[in-house]
A = this chain, B = another copy of it.
Amino acid sequence: MTSPLIDRLRSLLPPDAVVTEPDALAPGGQDMSRSAPSGVAAVLVRPRTTEQVAEVLRTADELQVPVVPQGARSGLVGAAAAMEGAVLLDLSRMDRILRIDAVDGVAVVQPGVVIADLQRAAAAQGLFYAPDPASADRATVGGTIATNAGGMRCVKYGVTRDAVRSLEVVLADGTVVRTRPATAKGVAGLDLTSLIVGSEGVLAVVTEATLALLPAPGPSRAVAGTFRTVADAIAAAGTIAAGPRLPSTLEFLDGVALRGVRIVLPEIPLPADATAWLIAVTDVREGAEEDLESFAAAFRDHGAITVARAEDPHAVEDLFAARRALNPALTAVRGGATHGDLAVPRSQLPALVEGAAEIQSRLGVEISLAGHVGDGNLHPTIVFDPSDAAEAAAARQAEGELLALAQTLGGTVAGEHGIGTLKLDAIAGELAPRILELQHGVKAVFDPKGILNPGRKLGGI
């Protein structure tokens, strides 16, 4: 296959960095949502250097061809799915950890580094990279920056943005710039670094990141409990959230999720009357005993049926088995399961639970509200029989109503998975028209020809 675009790219990049065979292009068409809108891209490029990324963008900008930056494509909202006629810009070959420095407390890395690899490299030096999305074994630094990824440890350590000190990026026209010096503090400019974090590839392409590392925490210890009602579990989580001891992780499963867990992991002991499950983890070096006792007291005060403790990381992983099995468990219930993501202020979780129950009974669907309860960030899932068109339609309807409910409660339709294309329509429910206008204005400043992931992330107008 040939075209002015492909000829130019072939002249600029090594032969193996320019791929046009349809079979090789096809895997890049989708992300983990498996359902996002996508089109047939013109070419896949696999640069190894910042200069090569710059050449690609210079070419695309001049020819006005859309560019879709891609990492591991483990996203769930279509932000990295292929686009008709586009250049797929695969950054996974830029996978070097360039520096880890304990005195500065930073890692300098390329965007294709897998999060779990970075975590291990930091740990080998007694350091800690806090962001820990569920996809850490696959997700890349670039993708997690593009989505401002969250995960299990945000309740204590914050989100990816909180770990990003400085970025080297390539702008739409191929200019390479560093957003700011990589000092711990610095206020010389507007915070373009945070602006690019979470921008899902519409503002610039990250080619190097300076990330903050922390001293390694202590070993994980945890308390898990079961409850007769979701309300009891949510109340216990609220007591912990409002209390003096911050867990490093605070996760929740509801009755629908537990039904699935009983199917896929029947060996996990769960009381017959348990319809909710909670785990609170601590990773402090000292005071773990006091933390666990405080969490357990909150569980007991809110009527926990069982309270189990895990005194070392292996035992914590055992307790966590139910949570880690969430996705297969939910699929096991009725064969099909949606992937949800929303967040509300923690004080609104009881109202969210009530509202979801109302939607459930009115639409005749089954909703699971499991997720990162410590952040108010749940992943509501509707389980349904995929062979039943009416059930599938009701599931979609319920999904939309849950997002609208979150917005009514002062929340968001995107806690940590992003907007991509799948949630573009929902944005207007929570961001004012002028905020949307400002965002499109900022996009035009960074990318006047609109070549970077066009039509994604920014909805509403």
Please report A residues at the B interface, Cβ cutoff 8 Å: 101-106, 126, 147-148, 150, 154-155, 158-159, 161-162, 171, 175, 177-192, 194-195, 197-199, 203, 214-216, 238, 241-246, 284-287, 290, 343-347, 372, 375-377, 407, 410-419, 423, 426-427, 430-432, 434-436, 438-439, 441-446, 457-458
- Chain B contacts of A426 at CB under 8 A? 188
- Chain B contacts of A175 at CB under 8 A? 434
Q: Given the complex of chains A and B, what is the CA–CA distance between A106 and B416 in angstroms?
A: 20
| A453 to B: closest C-beta gap in Å | 13
Contact A216–B188 (Cβ < 8 Å): no
Q: Given the complex of chains A and B, what is the CA–CA distance between A155 and B103 in angstroms?
A: 12
Q: Which of B183, B199, B203 contacts A345 (CB 8 A)?
A: B183
On whether A184 and B445 interact (CB within 8 A), knowing A171-B434, A175-B434, the answer reads: no
A-B contact pairs, 19 of them (CB 8 A): A101-B347, A102-B241, A103-B238, A104-B347, A162-B162, A178-B432, A181-B412, A181-B430, A183-B343, A183-B376, A185-B372, A187-B416, A188-B427, A188-B431, A189-B427, A190-B442, A192-B442, A215-B243, A244-B285
Contact A199–B190 (Cβ < 8 Å): yes
- Chain B contacts of A435 at CB under 8 A? 177-180, 189, 192
Contact B192–A439 (Cβ < 8 Å): yes
**In this complex, what residue of B is CB-closest to A350?**
B103
Contact B242–A161 (Cβ < 8 Å): no
| A198 to B: closest C-beta gap in Å | 5
Contact B191–A161 (Cβ < 8 Å): yes
- Chain B contacts of A434 at CB under 8 A? 171, 175, 177
Q: Given the complex of chains A and B, what is the CA–CA distance between A441 and B189 in angstroms?
A: 13
Q: Given the complex of chains A and B, what is the CA–CA distance between A10 and B323 in angstroms?
A: 61
Contact A187–B419 (Cβ < 8 Å): yes
Q: Which of B177, B188, B343, B419 contacts A413 (CB 8 A)?
A: B188
Q: Which of B102, B238, B284, B343 contacts A184 (CB 8 A)?
A: B343
Q: Given the complex of chains A and B, what is the CA–CA distance between A445 and B241 in angstroms?
A: 39
Q: Which of B103, B178, B185 contacts A154 (CB 8 A)?
A: B185
Q: Which of B162, B183, B244 contacts A158 (CB 8 A)?
A: B162
Q: Given the complex of chains A and B, what is the CA–CA distance between A189 and B184 in angstroms?
A: 25
Q: Given the complex of chains A and B, what is the CA–CA distance between A430 and B182 in angstroms?
A: 11
Contact B242–A102 (Cβ < 8 Å): yes
Describe A's contact surface by its main secondary structure. loop
Which of A162, A179, A181 has its CB near the most chain B CB atoms (within 10 A)? A181
| A331 to B: closest C-beta gap in Å | 25
**In this complex, what residue of B is CB-closest to A212?**
B158
| A195 to B: closest C-beta gap in Å | 5
Nearest 8 pairs of A and B residues by beta carbon: A286-B287, A441-B445, A194-B194, A102-B242, A186-B412, A183-B343, A286-B286, A188-B414
- Chain B contacts of A198 at CB under 8 A? 187, 190-191
On whether A246 and B215 interact (CB within 8 A), knowing A101-B347, A183-B344, A285-B287, the answer reads: yes
**In this complex, what residue of B is CB-closest to A410?**
B181
**In this complex, what residue of B is CB-closest to A154?**
B185
On whether A214 and B246 interact (CB within 8 A), knowing A343-B183, A412-B186, the answer reads: yes
- Chain B contacts of A105 at CB under 8 A? 241-242, 346
| A378 to B: closest C-beta gap in Å | 11
| A106 to B: closest C-beta gap in Å | 8
On whether A410 and B161 interact (CB within 8 A), knowing A101-B347, A187-B415, A434-B175, the answer reads: no
| A71 to B: closest C-beta gap in Å | 16
| A433 to B: closest C-beta gap in Å | 9
Given A187-B414, A189-B458, A190-B198, 5 extra CB contacts under 8 A? A181-B430, A183-B343, A186-B411, A187-B419, A188-B423
On whether A431 and B180 interact (CB within 8 A), knowing A188-B413, A194-B194, A419-B187, the answer reads: yes
- Chain B contacts of A181 at CB under 8 A? 343, 345, 407, 410-412, 430
**In this complex, what residue of B is CB-closest to A344?**
B183
- Chain B contacts of A411 at CB under 8 A? 181, 183, 186
